[in-house]
Amino acid sequence: MRLLIVEDETKVAEVLKRGLTEAGYEADVAFDGQIGLRLAKSGNYDLILLDINLPLLNGLELCKQLREKDEITPVLMLTALGMSDDIVAGLDAGADDYLPKPFRFNELYARIKALTRRKKILVANNHQPDNNIAQDIFILGDLEIDFDARDVKRAGKSIQLTAKEYALLEYLANNAGKVRSRLEIAESVWGLNFETGTNFIDVYINYLRNKVDKPFTPKLIHTVTGFGYILKLPDA
């Protein structure tokens, strides 16, 4: 298992590399964002550990540029920035998980194992033959989602979503008529656990409502106070 550490603090990078090497991983280190991006784009890594505050190119921009070419390699952001807005920014840039500093190595190992396991599943699915597979369409009222094409329409109008917004909508659609908690959404869409005081799920629900619900009638994304969210037609 080969990892890339993009971290400008030399001591932190050395501790990470030593700990990961002792755990059986191969680890390369980049001390600035430009070198980190060049190495990340090589496609030779099973996971990338990425700091946000980097010289020459910050971690958010690095992640955005990487995702233009590579949508599969997991990115785990490691940063001292732990506020909910920073978490949203990291995930919106294309990161798969977020671990604020300081952290315990056993938690880091658990996140790495979970993310690399998901990559193996994605790679396997992407290599499955697709002949004779029927087109998968979800329809609820005037909302139409083509799961194969990742295309979303409402009242016949195409809706442009980010990758994470689409993943959230797809999860709600696959669970249409069922209330899903913030924790269930975070674990299923982002593959992570989060602190109960973090509101990034609510932020993404708001992003989705602004595109899928706000311009149209009726509203399809509903809040169930004290429980979570549900995608359904409004009760008559």
Per-residue pLDDT of 196-234, as tens digits, reads 456 878 889 999 999 999 999 999 999 999 889 999 998
Using left for φ > 0, alpha for ψ between -120 and 50, and beta otherwise, residue 216 falls in: beta
Tokens 């992407």 belong to residue: 126
Is-contact 154 179, C-beta < 8 A? no
Pairing of strands 2-6, 47-50: parallel
- β-strand partners of 26: 2
Separation between Cα atoms, residue 92 and residue 162, nearest integer Å: 8
Per-residue pLDDT of 87-146, as tens digits, reads 778 888 888 888 888 788 888 888 888 887 765 555 544 444 444 333 478 889 999 998
CATH number for the domain including 214? Answer: 1.10.10.10
Separation between Cα atoms, residue 138 and residue 174, nearest integer Å: 9
Q: Please indicate, yes or no, whether residues 176 and 109 belong to a single structural domain of this protein.
A: no
- Is 53 within a domain? yes
Q: Please indicate, yes or no, whether residues 15 and 91 belong to a single structural domain of this protein.
A: yes
The range of the structural domain enclosing residue 175 comes to: 137-231
Residue of 44 and 158 predicted with greater confidence: 158
- Is 236 within a domain? no
CATH number for the domain including 98? Answer: 3.40.50.2300
Indicate the number of domains in the chain: 2
Per-residue pLDDT of 38-89, as tens digits, reads 999 887 889 999 998 899 999 999 999 999 888 888 899 887 765 667 777 8
